[in-house]
Amino acid sequence: MSHQFDSTVLREYDIRGIIGETLGPDDARAIGRGFATLLREAGGSKVAVGYDGRVSSPVLEHALIEGLTSGGCDVVRVGMGPTPMLYYAEASAEDVDGGIQITGSHNPANYNGFKMVFQGRPFFGADILKIGELAETGNWSNGTGTVETRDIMDAYIDRLLTALDGIPVEQLSGIKVAWDAGNGAAGPALEKLVARLPGEHHVLFAEVDGNFPNHHPDPTVPENLNDLQNIVSVQHLNLGIAFDGDGDRIGAIDGEGRIIWGDQLLMIYAEDLLNRRKGATIIADVKASRALFDHVAACGGNGVMWKTGHSLIKSKMKETGAPLAGEMSGHVFFADDYYGYDDALYAGLRLLAASARLGKSVTQLRGEMPNMLNTPEMRFQVDESRKFAAIDEVKERLADSPDDVNGTDGVRVTNQDGWWLLRASNTQDVLVARAESDTQEGLDRLMAQIDEQLRLSGLERGPQAGH
């Protein structure tokens, strides 16, 4: 027996595809067989399995479990819930050695996929390619694993609530918050969570519906926050918090409806954390604002710029011992009093906690941030065979540049106007560009530099590519 995956399915950070076209039960079974083989080789034997609210998820769960058990692993079914609940199952149970969440994350309703954790570390890149190699040869382990079901939702919510430890209830009793689950997998956990919080809470779209009838569950897209902004305005609330389809990415707005972007959230979390842990390392991806790194330094921390991608950031955190990291995309990782994975429900509570500890409303914290002018993330189609080569060409041309050129992930160039970034996506055939300045003139000059570099590589900032 062997299995061939569609060439588009095995990605850098996860496995994902279009149901009925590039991904189906046979793929899920092969993923289970491969994961079981690798885990048993590493001395593990038990895997937690969870799934999100997509229509296709239960079928994939069934096939995945068949693959895991026939590969000789025992399975703990934790049922439907957000991805971080699956991470919690893996991190908190001593008898569990790995975890797989079936989720299409923030992709359209006809997508699905798998996020994996292996003996406490992210499973990505070469690990995922190994699943493909094992499938091709059919060189899998054999066995007959057992299946048990564990209801961990309440224990997970208990653990989330430790984010508010040490904060007097009366300090939070006046807070008014809107929460938007976007019909994603975080809905049921969110309802249970807010029922136990002090203050006034309004929950939108908590009913899980894999067709996402109200808006697409991606909180990095401004129009997906319209419902949240509306209820915050009408009900005169203090802030709003939104989640992506599987609850590992957070979006937020303040009491005036202003979006608090991923790097701005990290500024708030960093200030709060550095009050307690002076000199700590805070990691952010290369798309983050200069204002964040300046703020971390001003608060006595050590800001580290790293590659985009939740698996890469988690690995860097382990390497540096950083207690906090985040990405522009809304993945935030807490390893001070939590497990170091991205959990948007926990991040939501940490935002309330930070506001309470800093003695400032979220609106005030957002209002004190410098007003930088930045472009949205611009993504444009480039042939797969050209995308990394083009970045190398840009690096070569800028080797003697008087500007500060950072090659951590693509090219990030800093000069007196601000900075611009050009990087190749690890998951799509696109280049990603972004720029930031204090002035419109500066921003225009930075954009001209990006266009010039693209032109010299025979490319142009043409039609924008979607996610």
Residues recognised as catalytic:
105
**Are 140 and 34 spatial neighbours (Cβ–Cβ below 8 Å)?**
yes
Identity of residue 121: R
**Token pair belonging to 44:** 């593990």
- Report CA torsion sign: 325, 331, 334, 340: negative
**Token pair belonging to 60:** 């994939």
Q: Which helix (H) or strand (E) segment is 388 a member of?
A: helix 384-397
**Are 131 and 16 spatial neighbours (Cβ–Cβ below 8 Å)?**
no
Distances (CA, A) of 259 to 236, 252, 318, 377: 16, 6, 30, 15
**Token pair belonging to 223:** 């129009």
In the block, tokens 């060409």 appear at: 393
What is the rounded CA–CA span in Å between residue 345 and residue 157?
9
Identity of residue 138: G
Strand partners for 248: none
Which residue blocks in 77-219 are alpha helix, DSSP H?
A: 83-92, 126-137, 153-161, 169-172, 187-194
Strand partners for 435: 420
Pairing of strands 324-326, 281-285: parallel
74: left (phi over 0), alpha (psi -120 to 50) or beta: beta
DSSP three-state, residue 238: coil
Strand partners for 405: 413
What is the rounded CA–CA span in Å between residue 42 and residue 195?
41
What is the rounded CA–CA span in Å between residue 192 and residue 183?
15
Q: Closest by alpha carbon to 335, among 319, 357, 356?
A: 319
216: CB partners within 8 A, 6+ apart:
106, 108, 182, 224
